[in-house]
Structure 1
């Protein structure tokens, strides 16, 4: 039996200056910004007083405006089965991300011996200058990088100028990439001798019910002339030391490897993301000269041929989603509270994993996944040396691929949330008979940096790769879509396991339903929306039910990553070819405003094993459809339910078995009846629709209802939290609905809502989830879409209380108070 085994210890690194010479500052305030070409803007004495003042992280393109002519791309997408060149409108969101831009800020050193700048991501093609001299160039906007500036910076107390030139190219992306310094920048100061963060490696050698042995590799940077001591301490959540050790590193040596023994370890998993704290101290002459402190979690991962995926010795299938890096109305500027909000939505759905498609994530994402319990597949590339985009990363691939891959592994290898490395997504090299050599090369980089994790490559050209051996070298083959090819691939490939690395691509618009109810591929309508019945998909894809059935049938199926967890800016398929104003995706389980679609509850009904689900669709406000067939679906984990319309039973339905489904002829919805309850022939009449779910013993267990709405009467608001940090870094999400006098959602309302924030807060952005809406996110008014939208607010630096008010013509307003502290 061939096994790929991963036994590791997660490390979420945070550097502390306590008891050491290390100090760190986040360079957040004091930045000046300008778009365009500026000769000599890197010079120390350059006059930037007319530039805009901004804080970092910063996405300058999210302010818009949306425009059809922004980044028009004429492309024939072979992967999407296109046979001619098409004009892609809105492919990258219709936002002005391309062109040159500059950032400048001033800083002073504290007086330590060495200094470094760390960039978590700069979009894109960034050239970095310190005091007028170039110190770094990073072509990949998603890739973190660090540069030592000791020889470029002035002595302590004297002013230094940091300038960054960006040169984002049009036609360089297939989705909205963002623009600017969209992740954090850190200034790090240390002594002459220090611990290297990315060269720190922590691995669990043995994991059992009663003992874990944790190997810690530490690397010393600088001349270790007189020898040093590396001291380790592992603490539990109560800060009790559960293991400790120290070892001498002789003069001239740079590396230390020690093993900590942990008795009765509390293992990390999505259900119980238990964490420890690891302290690593570098001691010289009885003095701590450097110090790293890290959160850690112990867990084991196994990929077993023919049997599947095991976490901590228990079989499970991955219930994951793919996500792009943008945060909807907030753009790509990283914000912890916004990312937490999104991850909580995914967790409640029962999601347990994320694929960072198709780029390197911020440092924040793995840290939050460690803490909140989400597994990660991290990948760095959407293309290799053969282009998908005219100005894509293929231009730099040969010179930078090895560095990008090795840095990816070094950066993230000590996070327990990371279970797999990816090396490419749907690369055109799949069609190349020699493409397998690049697979082998990139995988080898991963293995040399981390021998404990397996590697996957995400493929969609399955007939080609079955014939040319593209997948023969990879640890774990990943298939994107191609559900009809899974059995054939399983019979040919020797790995004995397949990952559904990208699945579904079902398209839907929240609150929109199309009639008659039937499966449709690439369906398009005059309103540029897709049906919320979750029966529409792309030419290369399928409904979620097909992927559910693969998971149910085959033990070698490792699980799936659904495309996508959230709608994102760009790729408005099926309205991607000359169909402006469509400019954001319809793939998401959750819309661009962070409001769940119906599909959220379909996945929840299968994935959330902790809580029951009962969700009824569509809405029941259909003026003009009286007497017409309006099918009803129910998403639930219960096996059967009964539907009532105005008190009259519409019948009791149960989920059919797979064998029953397979015996049904001529019913295109047959497979759906195994995972959904469907009443096909309900004729619409206004009133109340009620569903009662029954447990396996036949007892009533849960009910849900939806009513015909009257005229819009007032606004109601709910907020995810009632206090935020006053400093403006923490956001509150306010969901607004238009309701009638009885409190029923008015699903066909489109009123324009105005926002006002008084007191100790300010308005940040809003979104309504409509993939065709061109209203700027940052303006304090927005029309509702299907009766709903989301507004985002924050503190303005003052402690006290902010008052949020939403109003619209003809509606009663609503107010919410949020404390700032």
Structure 2
């Protein structure tokens, strides 16, 4: 029978049937982390030649589909680029400069540094033929910032903000059964915040494969209602159909406890959505005698959503969640699971010493553990959505979270960001409040702020009705945002009359979203403005700001205030108030950028924690100050504290609630001892001793590390011959490692301009002035002799590819500066001929065994300054008239090996963050310094 369909339509149906069949043969989803083995190089902000010729093509990637050029093209040669693993922050790798951004810690990246503003990332992946019919997508947790993503030369999209996660479907562009190229161009020239933000792909990247019918990204939403001894769980799931299958699918929702035991399950049948449409399905499940999530016992459950078609599982989607209740009361504050909880919080940015913003997951846990040890129970994400791993750590460790969007506004740019944040994060039990803004001074006190807040607040409620909304406000608490926001966020009690606002809006709950902003340098007890060091005693920093003690007392004494978030838990890069250059980090933290505690930690631990605390400051190494008075403070939650100097009592004092104790002590070397009493009994003793000279290095593994972690934080310190920590030691240590690698080093010194990382320096040197000369024979020469310049013509100019010479020799030059003996110089040849012979400065060079187009150049044949390269080849031939022939001979890569890892101690401490190599049984870290006994640390 003759077909009634045109041939083209028949072919389409055959392809469609093939697509659907393949899809039906593929079940479930694969989510693969693809952080390893990327290539990276700097481009340029405005010089397209320095940006590898990107966007110079006749057709650009925005003109016609598939015309990504320069590094965006799949065939681009990136062999000379640096090889690295993600997450990666290129800003932290740069040096410091007074001309660089104050906000970003004076790192030479971003605006003002066009050669360090653009970063290119490339990665090759293989996708098997068997994946045809699946939906293939790339998932990025965050790229700072203004990223453009390409796949096999096809432009996928742009994400401006550095804090949003995003996803691209690449199914149509995949080279199934072969190699595929992912390319990301990152433009970090513009700052998004006023604090250090890093640069690059600083969060995780994933490759996802699903059936065409699948649960959409962040497509499960779990809420709970506690009724007597059970919790009624509502599980809403959104599925999409990117294929052509019709009919019914079965959705099964199953809840598991933390040990993997099935608690309950339910199934229902729904009609599959139409092509590229979605459908929602809501299920009700019951959990009897639920284990509630709270700060002390962060119990978690897992919802497993399965989609079945014809009895076969075609997608599985997991969602972690917790069961708990939250409530704000305008009179009594905040309640978790019906229990009154005073919020004891800190604000935090996302960078860490030596690492910048590209934190390994383990460091998220490390930092939250540090805060919990201080007694903190709440964390405000300042001022943007965090990386997902931070929220995971807060869920698992028991830390309440205010999740904050980046920018206030009512248009798609603002609301889309808010929607993505809430949909991504709304299943985290740790999150108790959404923040839709922070210190928007231009609109805080006027009708525009009121209108914007009403829109954002209502919009947030439409996505998640289970949590309230707040805004951090600092320009007075009278009108505008303050009058309409659900939970009032007070930023600094000196900025307005909090009690007066509360009396006017008695039905509006409130909390201190920012307080403190005190200045302190760890281990420093006399302010030295010349050195940019601030005393660590808790003092009022400015006339309208209050000390940590003053702030905590204010909020602790007012039941109607839910609690307070101090600025900040950790120091961070940038905002070096009250100074500027050469200060490169803030002074606000309870801890420094490494997480080493300042003395304020022990004040908060005394009144935030549950354990007995006794801490005295300062240290007792004050040579040259004999007979002079030194302020001695005690932080404690004991009833009384008695102070002794060399066994002589200096008096017993009664501790005031939420206070501290002070003595004036004339310095003499020896032992300063404090004894804490509860109910008249000695319960704690704290000692500060005058130490001997520095003699030994000590390395120790911080207790906050995760067990069996591949990333480990190590503390380096100096002791005297008796093993006492020397609090004034500032020696420079050199580190070496076997069985792993060092990720970063730090010391908490706000004025340190030392390198955070010690990595090989890679420079790419172009071959210039390329000339050519025809050869009469196809036999390529073994020797080369330079002829007069007038015998050479511009290479490839007016080349007639139908009438080529038997062979050609090309000549170019390249410049070498600082041609050190340790440098490794390599020529990465890009094929401009079939058979090839290469000469440098008249010397024939052989290609590498691992790569026939790679030539490692011996130091003995290279010159400082101008070098000449000759390439003799038999010519390439055009197969088709429209073929574009390569005319680029390649690039010279100069690698200067890194210096040994090193860092000065600051007031007795430095930090090393190391990563174990896969499959290695033992890691060995060694530290050495001139005049000190070295130390080694072995990690199994």
> Structure 2 length normalisation: TM-score?
0.76
Aligned position for 2:534: 530
1:589 and 2:610 aligned = no
d(CA) in 1 for partners of 2:85, 2:38: 6
Aligned position for 1:121: 142
Q: Indicate conservation of the 8 Å contact 1:724/1:795, yes or no.
A: no
d(CA) in 1 for partners of 2:215, 2:626: 72
CA 145–818 in structure 1, closer or farther in 2 if over 3 Å, else same = same
Aligned position for 1:103: 121
Aligned position for 1:46: 76
1:69 and 2:78 aligned = no
Cα shift readout 1:277-319 (whole Å, capped 9, x = no counterpart): 2211111110111001232211100112222110000011111
1:24 and 2:47 aligned = no
Q: Indicate conservation of the 8 Å contact 2:556/2:563, yes or no.
A: no
1:753 and 2:733 aligned = yes
1:686 and 2:669 aligned = yes
What SS does structure 2 have at the residue aligned with 1:623? coil
1:176 and 2:156 aligned = no
Residue 797 of structure 1 and its aligned partner are, at CA, apart by: 3.3
Q: 1:189 is matched with which residue: 188, 209, 225?
A: 209
Residue 170 of structure 1 and its aligned partner are, at CA, apart by: 4.1
Residue 338 of structure 1 and its aligned partner are, at CA, apart by: 1.4
Aligned position for 2:157: 136
Aligned position for 1:795: 916
Q: Indicate conservation of the 8 Å contact 2:512/2:555, yes or no.
A: no
Residue 730 of structure 1 and its aligned partner are, at CA, apart by: 2.4
Cα shift readout 1:742-784 (whole Å, capped 9, x = no counterpart): 22222222111111113x1222221111000011012311111
Aligned position for 1:434: 448
Q: Indicate conservation of the 8 Å contact 1:66/1:94, yes or no.
A: yes
Aligned position for 1:627: 627
d(CA) in 2 for partners of 1:624, 1:166: 54
Cα shift readout 1:216-248 (whole Å, capped 9, x = no counterpart): 001111066211111111122332222211111
Higher alpha-carbon Rg: 2
What SS does structure 2 have at the residue aligned with 1:631? strand
Residue 411 of structure 1 and its aligned partner are, at CA, apart by: 0.4
Q: Indicate conservation of the 8 Å contact 2:643/2:675, yes or no.
A: yes
Cα shift readout 1:232-268 (whole Å, capped 9, x = no counterpart): 1112233222221111113558221111111111100
Aligned position for 2:557: 553
Q: 1:705 is matched with which residue: 683, 687, 691?
A: 687
CA 739–90 in structure 1, closer or farther in 2 if over 3 Å, else same = farther
Q: Indicate conservation of the 8 Å contact 2:92/2:107, yes or no.
A: no
Judge which range, 682-691 or 252-261, deviates more. Answer: 252-261
CA 224–546 in structure 1, closer or farther in 2 if over 3 Å, else same = farther
Aligned position for 2:403: 378
Q: 2:474 is matched with which residue: 460, 465, 476?
A: 460
Aligned position for 1:766: 745
Aligned position for 2:577: 573
Q: 2:338 is matched with which residue: 309, 313, 323?
A: 313
Residue 470 of structure 1 and its aligned partner are, at CA, apart by: 2.2
d(CA) in 2 for partners of 1:92, 1:750: 22
Q: Indicate conservation of the 8 Å contact 1:640/1:677, yes or no.
A: no
Residue 327 of structure 1 and its aligned partner are, at CA, apart by: 2.0
1:417 and 2:430 aligned = yes
| 1:592-607 mapped onto 2 (5 Å cutoff) | 592-607=593-608
Q: 1:477 is matched with which residue: 484, 488, 502?
A: 488
Aligned position for 1:661: none
Q: 1:401 is matched with which residue: 401, 404, 414?
A: 414
What SS does structure 2 have at the residue aligned with 1:501? strand
Aligned position for 2:258: 237
d(CA) in 2 for partners of 1:331, 1:191: 38
Aligned position for 1:56: 86
Cα shift readout 1:505-532 (whole Å, capped 9, x = no counterpart): 11101110027xxxxxxxx611101111
Residue 427 of structure 1 and its aligned partner are, at CA, apart by: 1.0
Cα shift readout 1:383-404 (whole Å, capped 9, x = no counterpart): 546xxxxxxxxxxx85511110
Q: 1:511 is matched with which residue: 523, 528, 545?
A: 523
d(CA) in 1 for partners of 2:27, 2:396: 26
What SS does structure 2 have at the residue aligned with 1:24? strand
Aligned position for 1:9: none
What SS does structure 1 have at the residue aligned with 2:483? coil
Residue 215 of structure 1 and its aligned partner are, at CA, apart by: 0.3
What SS does structure 1 have at the residue aligned with 2:298? coil
1:147 and 2:168 aligned = yes
Residue 711 of structure 1 and its aligned partner are, at CA, apart by: 1.2
Residue 33 of structure 1 and its aligned partner are, at CA, apart by: 1.0
Residue 368 of structure 1 and its aligned partner are, at CA, apart by: 1.2
Aligned position for 2:613: 613
Residue 710 of structure 1 and its aligned partner are, at CA, apart by: 1.6
d(CA) in 2 for partners of 1:126, 1:237: 37
CA 548–698 in structure 1, closer or farther in 2 if over 3 Å, else same = same
d(CA) in 1 for partners of 2:929, 2:105: 32
Q: Indicate conservation of the 8 Å contact 1:62/1:95, yes or no.
A: no
Cα shift readout 1:550-587 (whole Å, capped 9, x = no counterpart): 23321110111111111111111111xxx311010111
Q: 2:505 is matched with which residue: 493, 516, 535?
A: 493
d(CA) in 1 for partners of 2:190, 2:584: 16
CA 568–500 in structure 1, closer or farther in 2 if over 3 Å, else same = same
Residue 188 of structure 1 and its aligned partner are, at CA, apart by: 0.7
Judge which range, 129-138 or 583-592, deviates more. Answer: 129-138
Aligned position for 1:813: 934
Q: Indicate conservation of the 8 Å contact 1:90/1:582, yes or no.
A: no
Q: Indicate conservation of the 8 Å contact 1:94/1:570, yes or no.
A: no
CA 147–494 in structure 1, closer or farther in 2 if over 3 Å, else same = farther
Residue 725 of structure 1 and its aligned partner are, at CA, apart by: 10
Residue 159 of structure 1 and its aligned partner are, at CA, apart by: 2.0
1:786 and 2:800 aligned = no
d(CA) in 2 for partners of 1:584, 1:542: 21
Residue 92 of structure 1 and its aligned partner are, at CA, apart by: 3.6
Q: Indicate conservation of the 8 Å contact 1:273/1:370, yes or no.
A: yes
Residue 158 of structure 1 and its aligned partner are, at CA, apart by: 2.4
d(CA) in 1 for partners of 2:126, 2:609: 51
Q: Indicate conservation of the 8 Å contact 1:594/1:790, yes or no.
A: no
d(CA) in 1 for partners of 2:554, 2:655: 17
d(CA) in 2 for partners of 1:153, 1:719: 46
Structure 2 residue ranges without an equivalent (≥5) = 1-24, 44-50, 55-69, 112-116, 759-900
d(CA) in 1 for partners of 2:516, 2:245: 55
d(CA) in 2 for partners of 1:540, 1:136: 46
Q: 1:268 is matched with which residue: 278, 282, 293?
A: 293
What SS does structure 1 have at the residue aligned with 2:757? coil
Q: Indicate conservation of the 8 Å contact 1:104/1:164, yes or no.
A: yes
What SS does structure 1 have at the residue aligned with 2:322? strand
Aligned position for 2:374: 349
CA 532–724 in structure 1, closer or farther in 2 if over 3 Å, else same = closer
Residue 676 of structure 1 and its aligned partner are, at CA, apart by: 0.8
Aligned position for 2:717: 737
